Amino acid sequence: MHRLFVFLGIAVTLSAQYQGLKSTWVEPSSNIVLPASDTFDNSNGTVGIINAAGPVNTEGHPFFVPLGTNGRACVNCHQPTYAMSLSAASMVERWITTGGKDPVFAAFDGSNCPNLPQDQKSSHSLLLNRGLFRIPLPWPPKNSDGSPKPVEFKIEVVRDPTGCNTSAEYGLRSSEPTISVYRRPRPAANLKYVMSGAQAIVLKTGMPADVDPETGKPVPMNLMSDAREPTLKTQAVSAIMGHEQAGGAPTQKQLDKIVEFESQVYAAQIAHIWAGPLELPGGPGTLGPAALRDRRAGVLGDNEYDPVFGRFDNWRKGSDYYRASVARGADIFMFRQFWIRDTAHINSIGLGNPVKRTCATCHNAQTTGQDLSAGWVDVGTTNFPTWTEPSTWAESSELPVFKITCSAKADPHPYLGRVIYTTDPGRALISGRCVDVGSIVMQQLRGLAARPPYFVNGSAKTLREVVDYYDRRFDMKLSDAEKEDLVNFLGAL
Ligand code: HEC
Ligand code: HEC
């Protein structure tokens, strides 16, 4: 009852720091100065943003001014209010306040397909309903010199509700064959964690890791849902050429400035609606954005001494009902064992199938809960039959469905064989490998309350739906009380 009430009262309250601005939405080229620290309310409490290098003057700053042709800057899709990502609700709000004219709705990827009538809401349904942007990727994938990469499978479009994958202009049969998948923006914050943990050989595949084109050194391969970008610099170039539709490449100085900004901005929940302030002496040492700023990146969560999100002992023992619930949720995340099964790149790498482990087996990196090694795993969100989409074809989902047929010579997907139906092949669209179909790089689990919905395809509207997915997927048999604890915990991150 409580929770429903809060959800209906979601209307974002305005931060006092932005006096004179009508909303907490940062417009491109608004020339404001972002304070060194700031807070924004959301349905689960308050998110805190820290600029570790001090106040940020956005005037002329390449993260905050449009560098392309469609009026968009990075900040359109990476807003402080939403933990440097976006919520789907914020898109509905933007649609209403701007009559659908905000550059975030640009035809190129802010609509289901650029060839749809752009003034109609239905043409932007994936962004409005699920917070998804179109990600057009070339098929087959290309090497850095532009030559086609060898691939192990054939891909066919089985269902195409957006029309984009079968379009003569934009689809798989167009002059530049393209697959369109639809994905959530990942937070452009706390990136020192995302960018740490490089290993020369990728544990999951035994193959050499991608390298930084500037230094030739291996990269961690945790950037983007499919690890297609080796560095923040290459990512920024692609975002400028793609999302911002620039005609020419950005300058070195612009790229440096973007990476400098991204590398010092931290985002995390700072107050929980029920449990109150989260950055308290004697409390768990990982909550709140200051901990993200101060802690070391690239550390494995340790069961005994320093679990993924720290120690909650004082809260577990204390008398505050909600803090105790958050602490119990942290224990479930870290210690509650269940049978993880049929998960490519976890069960298939020598751990056994099934294997009795925990949430933190996959989400193992301290402070953000990503994977310390290259983090693509097929947990099942996009592949039939465990996908999050409606289970019958009659209750239609708005996502495209692809049929993947792997060649007889290729290693099959370890659990789904050589014919796979999927709404997003994930890493396989980049590697061309059958074993990677449906593998998605784990996101950081911070600022979650500020940026629903969840999973790469925005299919879980609430944290409760995330937990329900896992409960079903791995038959965890969580009680209602346990689910509530886990939701309270995730909402405090
Ligand atoms: C139109 C919306 C949009 C714009 C504009 C945009 N992004 Fe993104 N950003 C996304 C989406 C969507 C993803 C996830 C893509 C994927 O996973 O394939 C993303 C991912 C990222 C990530 C990866 C984070 C992680 O943990 O993997 C970074 C960093 C990032 N964007 C920075 C930028 C920068 C810098 C700019 C400006 C040059 C920018 N973005 C412009 C939508 C946008
Ligand atoms: C077998 C590995 C694995 C296990 C176990 C696992 N996860 Fe995940 N988790 C993933 C992967 C991979 C993704 C990305 C999937 C996607 O986005 O569709 C993910 C995504 C998420 C997200 C979405 C984050 C976002 O920004 O959208 C949350 C929240 C999450 N997991 C929480 C949990 C919790 C809680 C548990 C334990 C009940 C758990 N995970 C167990 C691999 C795992």
Which domains are seen in the chain, by residue range?
A: 2-148+165-294 (no CATH), 313-491 (1.10.760)
CA distance 448 to 85: 10
**Ligand 2 neighbourhood includes 387 CB (under 6 angstroms):** no
| Alpha carbon of 85 to ligand 1 centroid (Å) | 8
pLDDT at 13: 40
- Contact status, residue 445 vs residue 333, Cβ threshold 8 Å: no
Res 22 pLDDT > 80? no
Q: Does residue 18 carry a pLDDT above 60?
A: no
Say how far apart CA 193 and CA 370 lie, in whole Å. 9
Q: What is the rounded CA–CA span in Å between residue 230 and residue 374?
A: 11
What is the pLDDT confidence band of residue 392, given thresholds at 50, 70 and 90? low
pLDDT at 122 over 70: yes
What angle is formed at CA 43 by the lines to CA 483 and CA 183, rounded to 5 degrees? 80
> Which one of the ligands is nearest to 456 CA?
2
Q: Which residue has the tokens 């609606």?
A: 273
Looking from the CA of residue 132, the nearest atom of ligand 1 is: 12
Which residues 6+ apart lie within 8 Å of 16 measured at CB? none
Taking the alpha carbons at both ends of the chain, their separation in whole angstroms is 23
- Cα dihedral 116, 121, 126, 130, rounded to 10, equals 170
What's at 363, amino acid-wise? H
Q: What is the pLDDT of residues 353-369, one digit of tens each?
A: 999 999 999 999 999 99
The answer to whether 279 touches 270, Cβ cutoff 8 Å, is yes
Output the six-digit token pair for 395.
Answer: 């209750």
pLDDT tens digits along 255-310: 999 999 999 999 999 999 989 999 988 889 999 999 999 999 999 998 778 899 99
pLDDT at site 204: 85
Give residue ranges with CB within 6 A of ligand 1: 72, 74, 76-78, 109-110, 133, 135, 183, 185-186, 188, 194, 223-226, 232, 235-236, 239-240, 243-244, 258, 262
Going by pLDDT thresholds of 50, 70 and 90, the confidence category of residue 393 is low
Q: Which ligand is nearest to the CA of 74?
A: 1
Q: How far apart are CA 487 and CA 23, in angstroms?
A: 28
Report the amino acid identity of residue 67.
L
Q: In whole angstroms, give the CA distance from residue 447 to residue 20.
A: 26
Q: How confident is the model at residue 1 (pLDDT cuts 50, 70, 90)?
A: very low
Ligand 1 mean position, distance from CA 186 (Å): 6
Task: Report the distance separating Cα 225 and Cα 440, nearest Å.
Answer: 5
Give yes or no for residue 335 having a pLDDT over 80.
Answer: yes
Instruction: Give Cβ neighbours of residue 190 (< 8 Å, ≥ 6 apart).
Output: 265, 266, 267, 268, 292, 367, 368, 444, 446
Instruction: For ligand 2, say whether the CB of 104 is within 6 Å of any of its atoms.
Output: no
Ligand 2, atom nearest to 378 Cα: 12
* Residue that is written with structure tokens 């409580």 in the block: 2
Compute the distance from residue 226 Cα to the ligand 1 centre, in Å. Answer: 12
Give residue 44's identity as a one-letter amino acid code: N
409-447: b or e for each residue (b if 16 or more CB lie within 10 Å)? eeebbbbbebebbbbbbbbbbbbbbbbbbbbbbbbbbbb
Query: pLDDT at position 144, please?
Result: 82
